[in-house]
Chain A
Amino acid sequence: MDECPELEMCSLLLSVEEGIQLWDMEGKLLYANPSTCRQFGHEAGCEGKHYSDMAAHCLDEDGDALNPEQFPVAQVLVTGAPCTDVPLQIPAADGQRRWFRVNAKPVNSHWVPGMPAVLSSTVDVTRLIERERALQLQAHYDVLTALPNRLLLVDRMKLALAHSQRTGDMLAVCMMDLDGFKPVNDALGHKAGDHLLQEVARRLLDVIRGEDTAARIGGDEFALLLGGLKSPGQCEQALKRILDAVAVPLAIEGHPVRVSASIGVTLVPGDVPDGDLLLRHADQAMYNAKEAGKNRFHMFDPTIESRVRANQGIVRRLETALEQGQLRLHYQPKVDCREGRVVGLEALVRWEHPVLGTRAPGEFLPLIEHEDVIIRLGEWVIVEALDELARLQEAGFDISISVNVSARQFLRGNFDARLTELLAQRPAEQVHRLEIEVVETAALEDINAVSSLINRYQALGVNFALDDFGTGYSSLVHLKRLAANALKIDQTFIRDMLDDPGDLAIVQGVIGLASAFQRQVVAEGVESIEQILMLLELGCDVMQGYGIARPMPVERVLPWLRDFQMDPRWRLAQSHYPQRADFDLLLMEVSHRHWFERLRAAIEQPEAMGDVPSLDYKSCRLAQWYAEVGYRRYGARPEFREIGTLHQQVHNLAEALQASLAKGDRQLARQTEQALAVANEALVSRLHLFRVAEASVG
């Protein structure tokens, strides 16, 4: 080093802590100060060495062997640009790694004027890095137990969720709280408490798998992430192991100590894969575990939770709806079709939902059936209906309004008092026009209470109807005890009675019951003129349904009532009710109509060919009746035998149609289908005419 022209400068360099190096353009050291040699472990001196020799011991930031081309001097030689703050590690003789920050840049050397060189420096930053790492550790780990803290837990949860979504395995997110920690802390002091927490942490790490996470959230609260689960059962086993491990007694400073754990768990998939939400749900479940008696785990049920939230939301919304006038009554007329007279209106609640538009009661009433809001809603309906009755009477219409009362409202202790109060404010002619509809099944729930309420309010002039009649299991004894004024036949039976002999039998049965017990009978859900005529013939005169009028908002009620006129077709119906023999004819007509409907459906949807009714004449219900009962009774009559011929023809054409369809002869099929329709129409009208003629004779 004596050759150095800047001697003073050089002696300065001898004593600095930083390593200083000057390299030639070949990458060989022209000069290195003593610090350099110490840092790189070349105590014997390193001048003349190539940078690749110097880089040979170095490790990169991640601790891997350094590629010599990444050595800062090499980079400057290639690019000609400075290379700054490169972190490197160099293992020292004692095995400890030291951290260095290396800078290098091109310079003009004084030794060989005009000749370029590279100057570099290496600064030992080991202490700085270590402090940084310690801070990082503190930020991510709990100092007492060395378990990850909440910050790191959130990080690990992200990884675990991604992993579970990739593999399809289940992930359990658990919150754990120690039962009986506070007494230990209070009795034996904080140090004992800390010792206990450390012991619990150790046990947790013992029972969970290496890739799972146990974290301390604070105080005596821990969180666990258990991944790779194939089933909820596997999760339960893991949790039982954890509970057992925590519950093993231990001694602290000679004192026997016993704690247990309460664990709340939520599983993904199943729950929403959102870290914060999962921890909240696990926490919620943990409180359930505590409430259920501690030393146990409780599984969070996301469906129940979400459903409860949805239900509570809807209950609240309906409360608001009631307060803000979003509920409206619509009125559906009840008409006596024999007399052509409107006898009443049924009040039906509609929800003018601010977002979803007008909702029918079937969509929301079942959701609040067991909530208190239905009671307030019921009272509101009665008040509205009474107000409407007053308006109707003022306008000269003497008709009733019926309101639906839920079972809960009806059987609730103060319904009686409230109704008395509401009715006391009204004149008698309003009270007498009020009808209360109770669903049959609800009335049967507590028949004693319902029947005594009915009796009491009937004495005040209020009428009662049993709604949806036929859907419950009323016995004749029940009907005798429930003094309702009317039975309303459920619309499902009315809807299908023309096609389904079973439903027709129920309709007929209810009409018969009503007549036997001298109650009024009302058919609900009437849609077509055929249904209206059939009901009239069966002896049910009062009906409601789309076939007569849809429910309408209050402002349309009076105009509708003023414009109402009897449909002239209603007069086509019989003036008296069918006898047993006529009913047979009616049943056959309906049964045949049902058969033909099924046949037509099968033709229109050939892919559902399995549903084709039997085409065989001999096995047909109408044919059997015709050959036996019918023939005995009416066989002498030529118009009856005509029915037999037409019926046979319908079956023949149906079989021909099936054959032509099977052959794929579409033209022939179309022709046969038309002929079949004509023949069937003739048959149905002959059946009908025969029945009408028979009834007028009988």
Chain B
Amino acid sequence: MTASQPLVWNDSYATGVAEIDEQHMILVHTLNEAGVRLVKDASLESLEQITQDLLSYALYHFETEEELMQKYGYADGPPEEAARHLEQHRAFSAKVVAVREGLKAGTLISPDDLLGFLNNWLVNHILNTDKKLGAFIVAKRGVA
């Protein structure tokens, strides 16, 4: 998939946990919007705004997911999966912070690199990591 193609939400992305899915849709929308914007304007200001929105939304969304993990005892569930999940969240934030550091020093990340990273991260994270969490929560909720 090239960076310029928008991600289209489909049922295969659904984790089955409404609050997570709702935020994922927004993330996908944000990514697509960034794609449209960067095609027209890949300036420093544009990149700064986009990365700031990403930081903000990531913090918000990761909190939602990690709160659910704590609530349902994900760390006591599948071994290492919870740790791997958290690690991916941290890596995402670290990468965005690094991109912003680069912007500060005048190294502008190319739109293709940024969108490629976001696309890959989002799709992989949702399809693999988040779906495992989703299944875990759905099972726990079913029992309760």
Q: For the complex, is A420 an interface residue (Cβ under 8 Å from B)?
A: no
| 66-84 of chain B: CB within 8 A of chain A | 66-67, 70
A367 touches B26 (CB 8 A): no
Contacting chain B: which of A310-318, A446-454, A543-551, A553-561?
A310-318
Known: A355-B67, A363-B97, A367-B52. A307 touches B57 (CB 8 A): yes
A367 touches B56 (CB 8 A): yes
A492 touches B60 (CB 8 A): no
A364 touches B30 (CB 8 A): no
Chain A CB count within 10 A is highest, among B52, B53, B60, B62, for: B60
What is the size, in residues, of chain A's interface with B at 8 Å between Cβ atoms? Answer: 32
A363 to B92 Cα, complex, angstroms? 11
A269 to B9 Cα, complex, angstroms? 8
A491 to B30 Cα, complex, angstroms? 30
| 1-56 of chain B: CB within 8 A of chain A | 8-9, 11, 22-23, 25-26, 29-30, 33, 52-53, 55-56
B97 touches A306 (CB 8 A): no
CB distance from A117 to the nearest CB of B (A): 54
Q: For the complex, is A272 an interface residue (Cβ under 8 Å from B)?
A: yes
Contacting chain A: which of B101-109, B119-127, B132-140?
B101-109
A492 touches B22 (CB 8 A): no
A303 to B60 Cα, complex, angstroms? 14
Contacts of A303 in B (CB 8 A): 26, 29-30, 33
A270 to B8 Cα, complex, angstroms? 10
Q: Chain B: which residue is nearest A471 at the CB level?
A: B104
What is the size, in residues, of chain B's interface with A at 8 Å between Cβ atoms? Answer: 33
Q: For the complex, is B85 an interface residue (Cβ under 8 Å from A)?
A: no
* In-complex Cβ contact of A363 among B33, B55, B57, B61 (8 A): B55
Contacts of A493 in B (CB 8 A): 105
Contacts of A269 in B (CB 8 A): 8-9
Q: For the complex, is A193 an interface residue (Cβ under 8 Å from B)?
A: no
Contacts of B100 in A (CB 8 A): 362, 366
B63 touches A355 (CB 8 A): yes
CB distance from A351 to the nearest CB of B (A): 10
Q: For the complex, is B91 an interface residue (Cβ under 8 Å from A)?
A: no
A492 touches B93 (CB 8 A): no
A310 touches B57 (CB 8 A): yes
A362 touches B97 (CB 8 A): yes
Q: Chain A: which residue is nearest B57 at the CB level?
A: A310
Contacts of B29 in A (CB 8 A): 270, 302-303
A490 to B103 Cα, complex, angstroms? 12
Q: For the complex, is A148 an interface residue (Cβ under 8 Å from B)?
A: no
A492 to B105 Cα, complex, angstroms? 6
A356 touches B53 (CB 8 A): no
A45 to B95 Cα, complex, angstroms? 90
Q: For the complex, is A644 an interface residue (Cβ under 8 Å from B)?
A: no
B104 touches A302 (CB 8 A): no
Q: For the complex, is A470 an interface residue (Cβ under 8 Å from B)?
A: yes
B105 touches A470 (CB 8 A): yes
Q: Mark A264-277, 1 if CB is under 8 A from B, else 0.
A: 00000110101000
Contacts of A168 in B (CB 8 A): 8
Q: Mark B107-121, 1 if CB is under 8 A from A, else 0.
A: 100000000000000
Contacts of B70 in A (CB 8 A): 355
Q: Mark A235-271, 1 if CB is under 8 A from B, else 0.
A: 0000000000000000000000000000000000110
Q: For the complex, is A609 an interface residue (Cβ under 8 Å from B)?
A: no
Q: Chain A: which residue is nearest B18 at the CB level?
A: A274
A–B complex contacts, Cβ < 8 Å, 9 sampled: A168-B8, A269-B9, A270-B29, A303-B29, A307-B26, A310-B57, A310-B61, A359-B93, A363-B59
Give me the interface of B with A, judged by CB distance under 8 Å. 8-9, 11, 22-23, 25-26, 29-30, 33, 52-53, 55-57, 59-63, 66-67, 70, 89, 93, 97, 100-102, 104-107
Give me the interface of A with B, judged by CB distance under 8 Å. 165, 168, 269-270, 272, 274, 302-303, 306-307, 309-311, 313-314, 353, 355-356, 359-360, 362-364, 366-367, 468, 470-471, 490-493
Instruction: Beyond the given A270-B29, A314-B60, A359-B93, please list 16 additional residue pairs across the A-B interface where CB-CB is below 8 A.
Output: A168-B8, A269-B8, A272-B22, A302-B26, A302-B29, A303-B30, A303-B33, A310-B56, A313-B60, A355-B66, A355-B67, A356-B89, A367-B55, A367-B56, A470-B105, A492-B107
